[in-house]
Amino acid sequence: MSTVISIASEADIPALGALVNGAYRGESSRKGWTTEADLLDGIRTDETGLKAMLQNPTETILKYEDAGHLVGCVALEKKGTELYLGMLTVLPEAQTAGIGKKLLTAAEKLAQEQQCQTITITVITARHELIAWYERRGFRATGEKKPFPDDPRFGLPKQKLEFIVMKRELNEQADGRR
């Protein structure tokens, strides 16, 4: 089998939850560079939240499978002419294989199909390496910041956390050129 990017369904919820929580939190996440284990305890998402996302007509979760195994995913939500991108996740052991870039490309294609003009993301300000990764793909900080949710369903912060909002115009190439 080869690699496939497709739309997730409710049948994928247990695997999506295990992937996302394992990639961001706990000891297993330390095998990759996207870990939030030093910043947050608790879980990144739960099955109830994933089900709500999949049942929302404005949201889509794309999954990346390799030989039938879930290796990555990304959550997308259409908000007018903007596509919000979140929960970009790659299995820690596979994080240097270009899967994140492939999921980002698939997200951009979906955004264009839905006549979106921008893709917006939020990144924890303490995640300097992740901010730099998105900047290399054409995202720019908007200057807007948002508080981290005070809700244990999204994790238990070990320090004060906030998000920066980043945006990429879809008529620009990944390196920022028009």
Instruction: Flag whether 177 is in a domain.
Output: no
pLDDT tens per residue, range 12-66: 999 999 999 999 887 888 888 878 888 988 888 999 999 999 999 999 999 999 9
Instruction: Flag whether 53 is in a domain.
Output: yes
Find the CATH number of the domain harbouring 55: 3.40.630.30
For residue 20, the Cα-to-chain-centroid distance in whole angstroms is: 9
Indicate the residue type of 79. Answer: K
Structure tokens at 142: 């908007």
Instruction: Tally the C-alpha atoms within 13 A of residue 161's C-alpha that lie toward its C-beta.
Output: 22
Give this prediction's pTM: 0.91
User: Which structural domain range is residue 160 located in?
Assistant: 3-169
Measured CA to CA, the distance from residue 18 to residue 89 in angstroms comes to 11
Instruction: Flag whether 50 is in a domain.
Output: yes
Instruction: Flag whether 37 is in a domain.
Output: yes
Instruction: Flag whether 178 is in a domain.
Output: no
Tally of structural domains, the chain? 1
